[in-house]
């Protein structure tokens, strides 16, 4: 007995679709529905990040403290050195060797984050070129809803030099009040390891010079 081979249609190949539509409109209708569904999913995912949350958590207030956020110690030695981390598998943000840590909450699917990426790179370059600032102010990014693969793609796509961390399950996003993106938080770290939030606002960097002046102002540099 010869087993019949079942050929499933490739619904995302326009050439094959047109040939199969000679026998009717079924495949074309399914194709259109699937494309519409994908478009809806992408749009809905962006809306989740674009509107405020109605959950119990709220963004960290200025003057308060940052919720406990555990991040993996980077595998790259350059990132570990930049953050001042020695060994271990995870770390807390206030353990970063700096006086102030600036945290960008972003998503690779956020068009505002994509547009702002070169500006944030410029900000990072200005910090690193200032000998009085580069060891005091450190910058990291957390990609909400992004996997390690997506974070790496975003890093390569925009040539980002500072450490980025994934938040694929939205757990960090949740404890930060499900903020819209991009969102910047800065914490000032005391000598005894305590810290307080000195900046917590929605929006991009804007003008790097003005933003850096603002950072220096609330940091006391």
For 93-150, write each residue's pLDDT tens digit.
Answer: 999 999 999 999 999 999 999 999 999 999 999 999 999 999 999 999 999 999 999 9
Q: What is the pLDDT of residues 53-104, one digit of tens each?
A: 444 578 999 999 999 999 999 999 999 999 999 888 999 999 999 999 999 9
Rounded mean pLDDT of 20-44? 54
Q: What's 40-88 look like in SS3? A: HHHHHHHHHHHCCCCCCCCCCCCCCCCCCCEEECCCCHHHHHHHCCCCC
The reported pLDDT for the residue numbered 54 is 43
Global pTM value: 0.75
Rounded mean pLDDT of 184-190? 96
| Percent of the chain scoring above 90 in pLDDT | 67
- Cα 160 to the chain's mean position, in Å? 12
Q: Is the pLDDT of residue 180 over 80?
A: yes
* Helix intervals (H) in 101-200: 111-128, 148-158, 171-175
Query: For 147, phi and psi rounded to 5 degrees?
Result: -80, 175
Bond prior to 205 in cis (omega within 30° of 0): no
Q: Is the pLDDT of residue 2 over 50?
A: no
Which candidate, 201, 187, 205, 215, places its Cα nearest to that of 67?
A: 187
Which contacts (CB < 8 Å, 24+ apart) does range 51-58 have? Answer: 51/180, 52/178, 52/180, 53/177, 53/178, 53/179, 55/174, 55/177, 55/178, 57/174, 57/175, 57/176, 57/177, 57/178, 58/177
Which candidate, 104, 125, 134, 107, places its Cα nearest to that of 209?
A: 125
| Percent of the chain scoring above 70 in pLDDT | 75
Rounded mean pLDDT of 180-198? 94
Q: Is the pLDDT of residue 196 over 80?
A: yes
Between 218 and 38, name the one with better pLDDT. Answer: 218
Q: Is the pLDDT of residue 215 over 80?
A: yes
The reported pLDDT for the residue numbered 191 is 86
Between 206 and 42, name the one with better pLDDT. Answer: 206
Rounded mean pLDDT of 203-216? 92
Q: Give the pLDDT band (50/70/90) at residue 192.
A: confident
The reported pLDDT for the residue numbered 17 is 42
Rounded mean pLDDT of 180-184? 97
The reported pLDDT for the residue numbered 65 is 94
Domain positions in the chain: 14-50, 70-219
Give domain 70-219's CATH architecture: 3-Layer(aba) Sandwich (3.40)
């Amino acid at each position: 007995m010869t087993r019949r081979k079942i050929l499933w249609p490739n619904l995302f190949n326009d050439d094959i679709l047109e040939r199969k539509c000679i026998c009717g409109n079924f495949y074309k209708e399914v194709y259109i529905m699937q494309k519409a569904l994908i478009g809806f999913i992408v749009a809905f995912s962006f809306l989740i990040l674009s509107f405020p949350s109605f959950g119990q958590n709220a963004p960290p207030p200025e003057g308060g403290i940052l919720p406990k956020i555990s991040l993996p110690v980077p595998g790259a030695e350059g990132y570990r050195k930049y953050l001042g981390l020695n060994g271990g598998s995870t770390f807390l943000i206030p353990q970063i060797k700096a006086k102030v840590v600036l945290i960008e909450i972003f998503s690779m699917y956020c068009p505002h984050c994509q547009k702002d990426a070169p500006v944030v790179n410029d900000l990072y370059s200005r910090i690193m070129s200032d000998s009085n600032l580069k060891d005091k102010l450190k910058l990291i990014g957390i990609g909400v809803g992004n996997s390690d693969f997506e974070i790496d793609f975003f890093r390569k796509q925009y040539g980002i030099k500072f450490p980025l961390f994934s938040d694929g399950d939205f757990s960090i996003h949740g404890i930060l009040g499900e903020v819209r993106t991009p969102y910047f938080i800065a914490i000032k770290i005391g000598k005894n390891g305590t810290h307080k939030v000195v900046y917590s606002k929605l929006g991009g960097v804007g003008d790097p010079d003005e933003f850096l002046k603002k950072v220096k102002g609330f940091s006391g540099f």
